[in-house]
Chains A and B, each alone.
Chain A
Amino acid sequence: MIKLLVIILPVFLAATFSAHADPAITLSVDDVRSPVLNAKGIQASLTGPKASLLEVQLGEVAVQRKVWRDLRFSCHKFQVADGLIRCDEGVLRLASSAPLPVSFRFSSRHKTLDIKIRTASNEGSEDWRLSVQWGKPIWEGMLTIANGGAARIAEFVPIGEKEILPTPVTGKGKINGAIKLHGDAGGLAGIEADLAVDGLSFSDASGLHAGEDISGQINAKAQREGSEKAPLWKWQADASWPRGEVFWQPLYFAGQGQRLSASGELNENIIRILDGKLVLSGIGEVDLSGVIERPANTVRDFDLSADNLELSMLFSRVLKPFFVNTPFAELKAAGHAGIKWRYRNSAHELLHINLRDVSVEDERERFAFRGVNARIPWEVQGADKIHEPTKADIHIQGSELGRIPIGQLHIPLVMDGLNFNIPRLTMPVLDGELTLENFSASPQADGKLQGWRWQFSGGLSPVSMQKLTEALGTQPMQGTLSGEIPVVSYNGSTVEVQGALLFKVFDGTVLLWNLKVLDPFGPAASLMADVDMRNLDLDLLTGTFSFGKIQGRVDVAVHDLELFNWKPVKFDASLMSSPGNYPRRISQAAVQNISSLGGFGAAAAIQRSFLHFFDDFGYSKIGWSCSLRNGTCRMGGIESEPLQHGYLIVKGGGIPAITVIGYNREVDWWELVSRLQRITHPDAKPVFQ
């Protein structure tokens, strides 16, 4: 601006002296170039009495490569005298903004320029004042702002820089403070800003980047170093944010005294951040450094480290939005964490996490981990393939999965880039142990599939059923649960068991095969499986359910089982006495209960006959089947003993023997379940032999 005026000045002066009483001078310049400022499409006219009416139009002005377009300036009280150019009632019009009242004084003798913008509105007066003084070789300036409208910043921001602000910006708020500038022939050489903002609000059109009622203090300094051709700016900044709120999709923060201080360098190509420190109230302190590439403003390198972050606030304020729709969306976390993150050449290189006395609890009580202490040093796989995998050390004092308590755990996690392995993990479950072997997890190899895939195998050493049922809060059962777990894998949408899960329970075996869980972490998880149980000890089984004692053994098959929300939707089930020789006795109470499924008749019949003198009876076979479809169970009995009417449930044998026949073929499943619970079925009639 200064040099431009210096260039133009002689033209005006010469014209003024040679003009008539009411001179009319017009000046049209296509292009003006100077080291500080370039301008195009300049039109100026000086008219009116004593040449007091100045009109200037600038098609484009570029200062330090910052571009403004369509500037118009008019002045109704323009005076030139004794090396002083002054305008007391000027109006500046920037493209698409309201006219600004501007006055200026330019003294070629004192080498000073003073520009004032003062507006007055219902919201009070607003002052922007720029004073510049120059001499060889340096010049200095000071911009003083009193109640400056924050929206002006958006107006004054040059074209090409607006992308750093939410677009289009609508803003309000007041700025107070001063910015000192100094420069030399090479242009601006130093800047020092001391600003306070109050009641600042901004928003882009979508409202996804917005702030409201923000107050804060910014102190910044920058000094130009380096050669004229390759200037390097060294800068230092401090900002504090005591009040207001910001939503920057997907994060929301309320100002609570957060502070940021940083220093660094800036040149044409990069912004370098050194010694950055971010103080997040309630969370902790974070050290930052990095390199941002210009003009795209993309992060190339970044380092973040923090020793002692308060996890509960960190999770609820920062991490939670990133876990939406995952099993971790409804977590409560507590404890302390340390983090070190290194990002180089636009790629993650290192992430070290330390957890100290951390607890993590699912608010829906699906899982909980307590007393977690971990050191997780993750590093990216080396491009040269000679990178060594790193090992995480994770100790968990206690956990719960569902309602099942898990004892102390040590997880030896091996990390090779994004491939995670646990060679062997032993989890104390009640009085037994669950062992996981060869656990591996990695991102989907197929680009079409999202998320992760994992697999493991393992086994369960005997867990007391009594303790397990106690923990689950279900019917107490006797015996133990143990088994082998073949390969279990997850492909991003389905958990599948390759092979069969084998458990030992009620002194028999349970084989679970074709096991699949569809969409296990989604809203419509469903389980499919086939189950074959062999040689279950009825004595243990019936003792468990207070059903009345039955001696013997049964095989149970449940095929095409489909569960949704852990409730059966479909299956073909059958129960049949196991082959082989073993004592077969059924107690009066059990007969009464089985036949009570068919009403009071059986119990009454026993009571009426001499059979009530006996505590138990002989039988040769027990058989029952149920096919569940659309909520209805279609029942049958011993298949090899078809009856003309009804179906045989208990075939008598020995002395005294007893036979139970069912007549009702179809029953609503949930009604049957509730009847089984109440044992009050009306239609089955016992036949005594």
Chain B
Amino acid sequence: MGNPVVLFRLMLLTLLSLMPLPGYTQANIEIDTPAIASLKQSMQQRHNQLEPYYAKGAIGLTRDGLVAMHDATALPLSARQPVNALIAAENQDRNALYREIARANSHPEWEADIRSIFGQRWIELARSGWWYQNASGSWVRK
């Protein structure tokens, strides 16, 4: 399975490269501000907790760059509420990350495009066996 933190860093590294946004000048997705650094750190720490749930298929990646419960039956009943809370916290960080990157590029209006690019890239970088939502919104196993 590999070290989840190393995997997450690798994913972020690949994600946070210069990516052109269609119709715009190039957005610097690698841009680093204290807010972005703090969000990345918080997400990185949480990834340790999320990783086994991705692997079990309990949670998956949505097409809009967030995380969602995919199959709660993969979890004991008592774990479903804490995993819900974990998903909510992760999504709060992800939403803030997309907003901060757009703001740091001085183009807050790019947020939707940055989210969409991240959404695709998270899925491309997901490990095999993880679940994600395809373009039509259906869940697919990688």
A315 → chain B, closest Cβ, in Å? 14
Interface bits B86-101 vs A (CB < 8 Å: 1, else 0): 0011001100110110
B85–A321 contact, CB under 8 A? yes
Contacts A246-B77, A247-B78, A321-B81 given; 16 further ones with Cβ under 8 A? Answer: A203-B73, A205-B73, A207-B73, A207-B80, A212-B77, A245-B78, A247-B77, A254-B78, A324-B85, A523-B38, A523-B39, A523-B93, A524-B39, A524-B97, A565-B38, A567-B34
Q: Which of A205, A211, A523, A526 has the most CB of B within 10 A?
A: A523
CA distance A319 to B140 in the complex (A): 34
Instruction: Known contacts A208-B69, A210-B77, A522-B92; decide if A249 and B84 are in contact (CB<8 Å).
Output: yes
A526–B81 contact, CB under 8 A? no
CA distance A614 to B84 in the complex (A): 69
Q: Which of B80, B96, B97 has the most CB of A within 10 A?
A: B80
The count of residues in chain A whose C-beta lies closer than 8 Å to any C-beta of chain B is: 29
CA distance A174 to B102 in the complex (A): 57
B75 interface residue per 8 A CB criterion: yes
CA distance A369 to B33 in the complex (A): 35
Within 8 A of B (CB), among A627-658: none
B73–A210 contact, CB under 8 A? yes
Interface bits A523-564 vs B (CB < 8 Å: 1, else 0): 110100000000000000000000000000000000000001
Instruction: Known contacts A210-B72, A524-B35; decide if A324 and B88 are in contact (CB<8 Å).
Output: yes
A252–B81 contact, CB under 8 A? yes
Contact pick for A564, options B38, B69, B85, B99, CB 8 Å: B38
Query: Can you spell out 23 A-B residue pairs with CB atoms less than 8 angstroms apart?
Result: A206-B73, A207-B71, A207-B72, A207-B75, A208-B69, A208-B72, A210-B72, A211-B77, A245-B77, A247-B81, A250-B84, A252-B81, A321-B81, A321-B84, A321-B85, A325-B88, A522-B92, A523-B42, A523-B93, A524-B96, A524-B97, A526-B35, A569-B33
Q: Which of A206, A207, A522, A569 has the most CB of B within 10 A?
A: A207
Within 8 A of B (CB), among A207-256: 207-208, 210-212, 245-247, 249-252, 254
A526: B residues at CB distance < 8 A: 35
CA distance A57 to B131 in the complex (A): 44
B97: A residues at CB distance < 8 A: 524
B84 → chain A, closest Cβ, in Å? 6
Residues of A within 8 A of B (CB): 203, 205-208, 210-212, 245-247, 249-252, 254, 321, 324-325, 329, 519, 522-524, 526, 564-565, 567, 569
A522: B residues at CB distance < 8 A: 92, 96
B72: A residues at CB distance < 8 A: 206-208, 210, 247
CA distance A210 to B73 in the complex (A): 9
A526 to chain B: closest residue by CB: B35
Residues of B within 8 A of A (CB): 33-35, 38-39, 42, 69, 71-75, 77-78, 80-81, 84-85, 88-89, 92-93, 96-97, 99-100
A244 to chain B: closest residue by CB: B77
A212: B residues at CB distance < 8 A: 77
B69–A206 contact, CB under 8 A? yes
B103 → chain A, closest Cβ, in Å? 9
A568 to chain B: closest residue by CB: B34
Instruction: Known contacts A526-B35, A564-B35; decide if A251 and B96 are in contact (CB<8 Å).
Output: no
A571 → chain B, closest Cβ, in Å? 13
Interface of B: prevailing SS: helix
CA distance A565 to B72 in the complex (A): 35
B100: A residues at CB distance < 8 A: 524
B89: A residues at CB distance < 8 A: 324-325
Q: Which of B33, B75, B77, B96 has the most CB of A within 10 A?
A: B77
CA distance A523 to B78 in the complex (A): 27
B105 → chain A, closest Cβ, in Å? 15
B87 → chain A, closest Cβ, in Å? 9
A203 to chain B: closest residue by CB: B73
B92–A252 contact, CB under 8 A? no
B32 to chain A: closest residue by CB: A630
B84 to chain A: closest residue by CB: A250
CA distance A245 to B69 in the complex (A): 20
A254 to chain B: closest residue by CB: B78
A576 → chain B, closest Cβ, in Å? 28
A567: B residues at CB distance < 8 A: 34
A205: B residues at CB distance < 8 A: 73
CA distance A246 to B97 in the complex (A): 35
A203: B residues at CB distance < 8 A: 73
B34–A569 contact, CB under 8 A? yes
A206–B77 contact, CB under 8 A? no
B129 → chain A, closest Cβ, in Å? 19
CA distance A39 to B75 in the complex (A): 44
A323 to chain B: closest residue by CB: B85
B88 to chain A: closest residue by CB: A324
Instruction: Known contacts A247-B80, A564-B34; decide if A523 and B92 are in contact (CB<8 Å).
Output: yes
B34: A residues at CB distance < 8 A: 564-565, 567, 569
The 4 closest A-B pairs by CB, nearest first: A207-B72, A207-B73, A564-B34, A524-B35
B35: A residues at CB distance < 8 A: 524, 526, 564
B92 to chain A: closest residue by CB: A325
B33: A residues at CB distance < 8 A: 564, 569
B39: A residues at CB distance < 8 A: 523-524
A329: B residues at CB distance < 8 A: 85
A324 → chain B, closest Cβ, in Å? 4
CA distance A522 to B89 in the complex (A): 10
B96–A250 contact, CB under 8 A? no
A252–B71 contact, CB under 8 A? no
CA distance A250 to B82 in the complex (A): 10
A324 to chain B: closest residue by CB: B88
A167 → chain B, closest Cβ, in Å? 14
